[in-house]
Structure 1
Amino acid sequence: MGEAVETEPRRGPGRAARFALIVTAVLVLLFGVPWWTLIWSGNEWPGAVFVGGTVVFVVAAAAFPGLMFSGHGQHHRDLPARIADTLLGIVWVFFVWSVLGNVLRLVLAVAGVADPARSRIVTAVVAVVAIVLLVWGNIEAMRVSRVRRIDVVIPRLGAGLDGLRVVLLTDTHYGPINRAKWSRGVVDVVNSLDPDVVAHTGDIADGEVAQRREQAAPLGDVRAGLARVYVTGNHEYFSGAQRWVEHMASLGWEALHNRHVVVERGGSSLVIAGVDDRTAAGSGVPGHHMDHEAALLGADPELPVLLLAHQPQQITGAVAHGVDLQISGHTHGGQIWPFHYLVRIDQPVLQGLSRHGERTQLYTSRGTGFWGPPFRVFAPSEITLLTLRSA
């Protein structure tokens, strides 16, 4: 029998109303706090500035849900998605620094600085910090990822595979912003690393294969001495997961759809297995679900196992099945600070190498691309070079 898998929660009565209330509350906070800090508070702006600033915030807040639905709904319309994603990133950064700016407001009040000077100082600091971070964050998001080099000791790894070079790509999120040139740059970096194995642990794109074919095309030119392997992430299940599995196969990648391959070098062998994302069972895509037993069926239990699983949270199954190393993505390292802390509520690890149980290690990448807002703040992207070492 396969292991238990996650399914969608049942929709209870009133759920839609509760969801609408939650969305409204979030929008009021996200847009309202920056509005209060920058426009209202004690700035005492001239009437035209106050009215103009208020109109900008109200229009942005009112348009945002529709833009998100149009851009990230069933049809993946790129222009609304680009506007909504950029707006989300901007308002998040301004929200965070508005909250912190109001701490500065208290300090200034204690120091005896009165309004409107106090509020205008806060407004200036918040605006400057937010704009600098947004410009820098956009540059970080759009650049070709830096290489992060990690050595991982796997005691059961045979001597013939000592020094095996595994390059990890994940969360490329080919999407509304055409990043075909960026994709080519990533592949050039990967090939320069002379990898033995290249792994992509999902969230390859936001959109159907037909929409993102150009951006994904360079993946067909990835070179690896022993294997190119891929598993689905949660975003494939919004974008035609089975078609992405088939497309990656057509580009020459092994789609590890709850299955494994064995690679050999110097008389030593390594099992490379993959499982579907933990959300697959609830997606309605026939035959897709997370199944560690199926992935390892027929594998020699004496051999070390490298497992591809999109989410760090899937580590529980890896530990239970004696996996030596799981490689994952999904977290984006938080992508835009301080979203890091929200990610940690859902996932056991944010990024980096960690140990789970006596045998199993987990490497979590910060992601090669980005989702949604074209910004990365205090969470740089990465192309990961994992060098496997025997004991």
Structure 2
Amino acid sequence: MTTPGETVETPPRPRRNASRAAVFGLIIAGASLLLFGTSWWTLVAAGNDWPTPVFVTLTVLWVLWMVGFPLLMMRGHGGAHRDGAAVAGDTSLGVVWVLFTWSVLSLLLRAALAVAGVADPVRSRVVTVVVALIALVLLLWGYAEAMRVSRVRRVDVVLPRLGPGLDGLRVVLLTDTHYGPIDRARWSRGVIDVVNTLDADVLAHTGDIADGDVSQRLAQAAPLADARASLARVYVTGNHEYFSGALPWVEHMESLGWETLHNRHIVVERGGDRLVVAGVDDRTAAGSGLPGHQADHAAALAGADPSLPILLLAHQPQMIGGAVEHGVDLQISGHTHGGQIWPFHYLVRTDQPSLQGLTRHGERTQLYTSRGTGFWGPPFRVFAPSEITVLTLHTAP
């Protein structure tokens, strides 16, 4: 409580925000130096003994690339949201990540050649050629994998509490479509054409629909209106909705005929047996500033018959703790992209309990993590193919 005449000092927010921005800037600068510097050392310096004009030209190009990269990312994914800059920045990220990875691994080849008596500059030039060729092959293959219509992945899941009338229920899972700066309207149509051959009973989308607002991605999202399911089409928000305008995307999905499970549930029935289909907001929702948006398992299951099996949509596998606590039988998630570009897989596993596939948590709860239907950012998928998932639910034998 204050008395008349007193003043209350508030923390100097702008200074704190400036400090955070400075720290973030230093992190980006350090990461850029590591990624670009390592690949430059391997391909340009490191004993290659290129002619001076070649060395200088390559070095200047590398520096321009390194300096331009964060500028492209900020312009592409910041407030301006310029699709051309986003494509250039995202592609640069994928290329430099692959070059960095194989530059690090090339130290083994460099050591082997040294033991074999191969001296510089031949040794370094052999390493350069090998790294460049591997990167080129992986990037071309990874681009083809990213842009193709996702393969269908079929998984059988036994749920002991599932009633016999629901045995064989098909849950088709889409996630992380990430409609973005590369126009993939034809790809989106191809995905829905595949979905409509799968005889889905429940069709689920577990978030990260798009990067960009609704008006920018209308054409890419339009085929979702034609997706078919006999019992329900349901959707929950992912973290990227909270970058791109969660409320407009929720409203747009509902206009396309999808039910948004905003911390709530529905009940589907077949053959006299019922299944609770629930959904929770993404775990980042609480920090979005949107009133009522947060991951709330209790609200999602409020009023549900506790004797019924529960299928939960939650964008991130990391949310499995709440599912276990509330007795969920199966949680379906995305978010990880299966790592998308190896070896990013190992970094993803430091934050998420599952990278992909079916895992068990606690006595009752199972988790299925999809590798994602689309891709985020770099238009490459390396050792992490995309998927449209058919989960066939079975009663206990």
TM-score when scaled to structure 1? 0.96
Verify: 1:330 aligned to 2:335, yes or no: yes
**Secondary structure of 1:167's match?**
strand
Aligned residue in 2 for 1:8: none
Aligned residue in 2 for 1:343: 348
How many Å apart are 1:51 and its aligned residue? Answer: 1.3
Q: What 5-or-longer segments of structure 2 have no aligned partner?
A: 1-15
Verify: 1:375 aligned to 2:380, yes or no: yes
Q: Which amino acid aligns with 2:332?
A: I
Q: 2:195 aligns with which of 190, 196, 201?
A: 190
Q: Which amino acid aligns with 1:75?
A: A
Q: 1:218 aligns with which of 212, 223, 236?
A: 223
Q: Which amino acid aligns with 1:282?
A: G
CA contact (8 A) 1:236 1:244 kept: yes
Which 4+ runs in 1 deviate beyond 4 A? none
Aligned residue in 2 for 1:5: none
Q: Which amino acid aligns with 2:103?
A: S
Paired with 1:75 and 1:202, the residues of 2 have a C-alpha distance of: 23
Q: Which amino acid aligns with 1:42?
A: G
How many Å apart are 1:75 and its aligned residue? Answer: 3.2
Paired with 1:57 and 1:71, the residues of 2 have a C-alpha distance of: 20
CA contact (8 A) 1:156 1:303 kept: yes
CA contact (8 A) 1:105 1:119 kept: yes
Aligned residue in 1 for 2:301: 296
Q: 1:354 aligns with which of 333, 337, 359?
A: 359
Aligned residue in 2 for 1:279: 284
How many Å apart are 1:331 and its aligned residue? Answer: 0.1
Verify: 1:165 aligned to 2:170, yes or no: yes
Paired with 2:378 and 2:244, the residues of 1 have a C-alpha distance of: 18
How many Å apart are 1:287 and its aligned residue? Answer: 1.8
Q: 2:185 aligns with which of 180, 183, 189?
A: 180
The percent of aligned pairs where both chains have the same amino acid is: 75
How many Å apart are 1:285 and its aligned residue? Answer: 1.6
Deviation per CA, 1:149-174, whole angstroms, max 9, x where unpaired? 00000000000000000000000000
Paired with 1:111 and 1:25, the residues of 2 have a C-alpha distance of: 35
RMSD: 1.1
Verify: 1:258 aligned to 2:248, yes or no: no
Deviation per CA, 1:290-348, whole angstroms, max 9, x where unpaired? 10011001110000000000000000000000000000000000000000000000001
**Secondary structure of 1:345's match?**
coil
Paired with 1:14 and 1:224, the residues of 2 have a C-alpha distance of: 50
**Secondary structure of 2:218's match?**
helix
CA contact (8 A) 1:37 1:102 kept: no
How many Å apart are 1:13 and its aligned residue? Answer: 7.6
Paired with 2:23 and 2:233, the residues of 1 have a C-alpha distance of: 44
Aligned residue in 1 for 2:98: 93
Aligned residue in 2 for 1:363: 368
How many Å apart are 1:14 and its aligned residue? Answer: 3.3
Paired with 1:74 and 1:387, the residues of 2 have a C-alpha distance of: 42
Paired with 1:184 and 1:328, the residues of 2 have a C-alpha distance of: 22
Paired with 2:172 and 2:140, the residues of 1 have a C-alpha distance of: 29
Aligned residue in 2 for 1:306: 311
How many Å apart are 1:17 and its aligned residue? Answer: 2.5
